[in-house]
Every structure is written in C-alpha cells, then in structure tokens.
Amino acid sequence: MKTIKGRISLSHVLILIFILSGFSLLQAKMLFAYDGHGAQTIEPQTTGPQSEGARIVSKFKYKPIEFTPPKPERLVLDNGMTLYLLADHDLPVFNITTHVRTGAIYEPGEKAGLANLVGNVMRRGGTKTRTPEQMNEELEFIAASVETQIGRESGGASLSTMKKDIDKGLEIFADVLMNPAFPEDMIRKEKDEILEDIRRENDNPGQIVFREFRKILYKKEHPYSRRTIGYKDTIENINRDDMIAFHKKYFHPNNVIMGISGDFDAREIVEKIKIVFAEWEKTEIDFPKVPAVEKEFQRSVNYIYKDVNQAHVVFGHIGIHRLSKDYFPINIMNFILGGGGFTSRIPSKVRSDEGLAYSAYSAFHTPGDLGFFFAACQTKSESTVKAINLALDEVRKIRDELIDDDELELAKDTYINQFIFKFTSSASIVGQMVEIEYEGLPLDYLETYVDNIKVITKEDIERVAKEYLHPDNIKLLVIGDMKQFDKPLTEFGEVNTIELE
C-alpha cells in the first residue's frame, strides 16, 4: 500500500538503526545472483579454512536441496502485448507488474522532467471517466493499488488486489494505462511538489552526490547527465499537450511487457486482459534517437562546499551497459573489489581495518547504454584524502595483482547459493522475467546463469579489471568542507569547484 509520498525518507521514524546496510540499492541488486536450472546449492570449497570454526563448518554435510523453480508461461497477444503468467493458489491475491518502453532519455533537454511528470500524473490525475477522488476511493476501499511511474529508461505500472476484486482492479488498471485525463490542476500540483523537492535537494549531501556525479561523467547533451525530475525552468516549459503527446506516443500494447501472478485461472485471466484492453490498438512507435555515450576517460577532481563534518566521496568513470559480454566476470570482480559487503576489499580496508566510514563500497551501474563504475564512501572531514587513497589503491591492486583462489570461490559460491532466493514469490518470478525481456537479455538467461558464473577464472577477473577499471583516469567528486580535510584535494589534480544551484 503506497502511503503518502515519502519525499523524505521516513525510515528514521522507525527509530531502528539498520547496521550492516553498507549497500546501496544498486549494489543490493547485484548481490543477489540468479540462475536457472534447478536450484541445487553447492558445497563451498574452502581453500584451507583459516580458523578452527571454519574448519569445523567445512566438514558439515548438507542434504541436497531439490527444487524446480516454477516457470511462468510467455504469451504474445494479437495486439502485441507480451504476457508472463504464473498462477499460484496459495493466497487469494493478484498482482501485475508492467514495463513500458519509454523513459526520460526520450524527452528533449528543454523539457527535462516530462517523462517523470507523465508517469506521476497518469495515476494521480485520474482518467477520462474517473476523477482522482473516485479512483482513490474505489481502490483503497478494497485494499487495492494501481501505480505508475516513468524513470530514466523505462516506464512501469502495477496492480495489486485481492482475488475477489480482480475484475474491478483490472478495469481501473487498464483505464489508467489507456485513458489518463492529465487535468491541469493536477499537473500544477505535481509540478509544484517537484519544485519543492528540488528546493530541498541540497539539504542532504547524500542527495547531491549522484546528481552532480552524472553531470561530471556525461556530456551535457546526453540525457544520462540530466536529472529525471527536471529543473526549475524545464519543468515550467512542459504543458499539458506535451504530456498527452508523450503518453500517446509510448503507451501502446505492443510496447508493454506484463507479468501476472497470483490466484487465477490462466485461460480466464487472458480473456479478461483481452476484454479490458480491447480498445488498445497496436501502433508503430518511432523512438527518438538517443546519442551514444562517448567513451572517454579523463581525470578530473571536483569539489562542492557544504557545511558538514563528514565528506561524501565518489569516484569512477564510464563503464558498461547491461548487455556487455563481460557482465558476469565484471560482477564477480566488483564483488571482490567492493560489492560483496564486509569481506570485499574496499569496505574491508576503509571500514573494517581503519574505521573510516560506515558505508564504503563500489558498483557498476549498468543501464541500456554505457553506465559507470564508481566507489563511494562517507568519512569525517579529517580523513577524506586518506579514505580516497585507500579505496583507489584497491582499484589499482585488483588490476595489478591476480586475486586469491578463495576470494574467487567466495564470490562464485555466494552467487550460486543465493540463487534460490530469486524464486521466493510468484510475483518476483514473473517480475524478473519481465525485466529480463525488457533489458534485451536472452530469455534463457536464468537457465544459463550458474554456468556463466561457474566458468569465470582468476584470469578473467584480471582481464576485466584491466579493461574496465581506470584508476588513473577517475573523475572524483567530494562534497564537504575542504578547510577541515587531512590533505588538500590538489593531491589528485587541479580542483574544479562546483557551486550548488
């Protein structure tokens, strides 16, 4: 159930302090590996346990796990809509998750924020026959939800309802996708709220970091450099007609992949889908050309002043896209470098050995075109340069020296043994198939996953580390109060000072 927009994280309200959470969302996504053929777990092979405890547990024998993950059915309707279906009668619930090929990358720079605005007002503004108030009341009274959003490179819509309300839920869901009203007053409200969010962005260093890092990494003309919620002036450039046109351009059945799970009869549900989307016609879509990301590596040192006692640090450079042939070895390499939690090298050095940061990690962000590699941490002002050097040294080291056997084993075993957790609910099973197809991955991605991990060697890691890490050509961004730093940032090169908007 979506509660009131959490514009500011309400996690504090829980007054719980979550501790080992050194993972960003990005990273968490990478931590959980999946695979396809039967989810057996494998015996960890430790190259000589180093402690008494490890020696004891290395002798533990486990009963094999036998589990064949359910495979959703794939179906393409006459109107071009792709469906993944997985019935699951355990609980009287029903869920749909949908990907629509669209995104902020397709909006013109002078109207930055258009896609996001369309994604929000589509749901919030009601439809041609349902006022927002009616729709909210109808849905919430039956504990159902319909939500839509458009991000940088994809659009999404979801429905969640109880089994007894499937018909009502589907009807509203289809109505929102096909007939959003985009009323002027709602557009104004949404714009004003986004403007307030923009006003507040600089309040928190954590919200500044990646916004500015993108600007440093990508050329100004490329949509990857822009903020998806837009800017003060570009938001005001957007009018209702732009929004209607944007919706009209991308929301067609042949541009939709839908994952359906829950307590239903497959044949019946397909009929129902056909009925509620009967008016929706297949239409050719002419996608605007998005310029390719330029692959250039040039060192730069960037600094933003903020009156805080802890520096936010990020450094990195252009990386890979999601379909890179080296995706798997790169993931394993990054797991060892800084993506595997405590035992990976960057957190081990920066956090565990030196106590310099609560969160220190590295990751590869892998969108449709070239994404980026980065390492990030937050450390007290007095240890800023020290922490950067420690992390940077690890990036150099993994290029220059072959990794240990047990590091590779730890990474591979983790990916393979965690695989089963990809199948913990029917909703997550169809959800990941929708994503696999949307991203253009082979549809047998899960079936070949374990093998793709298993074949990785130390030499592969060395090769990808050399090819995809460029420690001498990083772009560094530090937010904090330079006067309190342990050493001047000039240590890394000429400092470019950025003024906050």
Partner 1 sequence: MKTFRIRFLLVAIILLFCTTAYGQKLELDVREHTLDNGIKLLMLEKHDVPIVSLRIVYKVGSVNEHPGITGASHLFEHMMFKGTEIFGIKDYDSEKPLLEREDELISKISVEETKGNDADKEKIKQLEGDLKEVWEKQKELIVKDEMWSIYLKNGATGLNASTGSDATYYYCNLPANRLELWAFMESDRMKNLVLREFYSERDVVMEERRLRTENSPFGLLIEQLNAATYTAHPYGWPVIGWMSDIANMKKAEVSRYFQQYYSPNNAVIVVVGDINPDEVIKLIERYFGDVQSQPPPPDVTTVEPEQRGERRIYVEYDANPISSIAYHKPAVGHPDQYVFDVIEAILSHGRTSRLYKSLIEEKRMAVMAHAYGEPSKYADTFLFFCTPRHPHTAEDVEEAIYEELERLKTTPVTDRELQKVKNQLEADFIRSLESASGLASKISSYEALSEWRYINTLVEKTIAVTPEDIMRVANKYFTKTNRTVAILVNNKERKGTN
Among 70-78, 150-158, 282-290, 437-445, the segment contacting partner 1 (CB under 8 A): 70-78
**Of 247, 351, 399, 470, which lies in the binding site for partner 1, with binding defined by CB under 8 A?**
351
Per-residue three-class SS string for 189-219? HHHHHHHHHHHHHCCCHHHHHHHHHHHHHCC
Task: Check: CB of residue 84 under 8 Å from CB of residue 74.
Answer: yes
Sign of the alpha-carbon torsion through 44, 48, 54, 55: positive
Minimum distance between the CB of residue 262 and partner 1, rounded to whole angstroms? 10
- Under rule CB under 8 A, residue 488 binds partner 1: no
Residues 268-297 that bind partner 1 (CB under 8 A): none
Tell the residue number behind the tokens 């990005």, with chain if given: 26
Residues 4-63 that bind partner 1 (CB under 8 A): 4-10, 12-21, 31-32, 39, 41, 44, 46, 50-54, 56-57, 60, 62-63
Query: Distance from CA of residue 479 to its chain's centroid?
Result: 23
Residue 292, Cβ neighbours under 10 Å: how many? 9
Alpha-carbon gap, residue 336 to 341, rounded angstroms: 9
Residues 110-139 that bind partner 1 (CB under 8 A): 124, 132, 136-137
**Of 417, 453, 456, 462, which lies in the binding site for partner 1, with binding defined by CB under 8 A?**
417
Minimum distance between the CB of residue 98 and partner 1, rounded to whole angstroms? 19
**Of 26, 142, 216, 441, which lies in the binding site for partner 1, with binding defined by CB under 8 A?**
142
- How far apart, in Å, are the Cα atoms of 419 and each of 71, 230, 308, 429, 442? 15, 38, 41, 12, 18
Among 166-174, 227-235, 243-251, 345-353, the segment contacting partner 1 (CB under 8 A): 345-353
Task: Check: CB of residue 319 under 8 Å from CB of residue 373.
Answer: yes
Minimum distance between the CB of residue 50 and partner 1, rounded to whole angstroms? 5
Helices 266-276 and 166-178, axial angle in degrees (round to 10): 40
**Of 303, 305, 327, 423, which lies in the binding site for partner 1, with binding defined by CB under 8 A?**
423
Task: Check: CB of residue 455 under 8 Å from CB of residue 320.
Answer: no
Residues 357-396 that bind partner 1 (CB under 8 A): 357-359, 378-380
Minimum distance between the CB of residue 197 and partner 1, rounded to whole angstroms? 7
Minimum distance between the CB of residue 491 and partner 1, rounded to whole angstroms? 22
Task: Please report, in angstroms and rounded to a whole number, the separation of the first and last CA atoms in the chain.
Answer: 35
Among 104-112, 295-303, 361-369, 413-421, the segment contacting partner 1 (CB under 8 A): 413-421
Residues 226-255 that bind partner 1 (CB under 8 A): none
Minimum distance between the CB of residue 123 and partner 1, rounded to whole angstroms? 9
Sort strands 93-100 and 300-305 into parallel, antiparallel or unpaired: unpaired
Minimum distance between the CB of residue 472 and partner 1, rounded to whole angstroms? 28
293 vs 456 by CB, closer to partner 1: 456
Sort strands 93-100 and 256-262 into parallel, antiparallel or unpaired: antiparallel
Minimum distance between the CB of residue 121 and partner 1, rounded to whole angstroms? 13
Alpha-carbon gap, residue 230 to 478, rounded angstroms: 23
Q: What would the two tokens of residue 382 be?
A: 């007095």
Per the DSSP assignment, residues forming a β-bridge with 99 are 156, 257
Residues 6+ apart with CB under 8 A from 188: none
Minimum distance between the CB of residue 82 and partner 1, rounded to whole angstroms? 15
Binding mask 301-340 toward partner 1 (x if CB under 8 A, else -) reads: ------xxxx-----------------------------x
154 vs 261 by CB, closer to partner 1: 261
Could you tell me which of 469, 298, 307 has the C-alpha nearest to residue 375? Answer: 469
211 vs 299 by CB, closer to partner 1: 211
126 vs 367 by CB, closer to partner 1: 126
Residues 177-216 that bind partner 1 (CB under 8 A): 189, 192-193, 196-197, 199-200, 203-206
**Of 27, 82, 414, 432, which lies in the binding site for partner 1, with binding defined by CB under 8 A?**
414
Minimum distance between the CB of residue 293 and partner 1, rounded to whole angstroms? 31
Annotate 411-440 with b (16+ C-beta within 10 A) or e (fewer): bbbbbbbebbebbebbbbbbbbbbbbbbbe
200 vs 454 by CB, closer to partner 1: 200
Residues 145-174 that bind partner 1 (CB under 8 A): 160, 162
Q: Where are the beta strands (DSSP E) in 308-434?
A: 310-318, 360-365, 372-380
DSSP 91: S
Minimum distance between the CB of residue 414 and partner 1, rounded to whole angstroms? 4
